[in-house]
Amino acid sequence: EPKVPVILHFGRHDHGIPMEGVEQVITKDWPNATVHVYEAGHGFNSDRRKDYHEPSADLAKARTLALFHANGG
């Protein structure tokens, strides 16, 4: 269980990270962990990859920056 705030971003169509594992993390309902699942594949945040998905990348960035801002970053 995380002792500090963490944010996790997953692509629903990432073949390297099975959704069953992601769902197990979600069911833990840890107060310091926020899990987001995007309708995207692996590497959705990198504009140099074929799985780049701009809307998901933009939302993940905004959520991450909000977490940093809320925690002194």
Task: Give per-residue pLDDT as tens, 1-54.
Answer: 999 999 999 999 999 999 999 999 999 999 999 999 999 999 999 999 999 999
Percentages helix, strand, coil for the chain (3-state, rounded to 5) are: 35, 15, 45
Indicate the helix (H) or strand (E) that contains 52: none
Q: In the chain, which ranges are E strands? A: 6-11, 33-38
Mean pLDDT of 54-65: 98
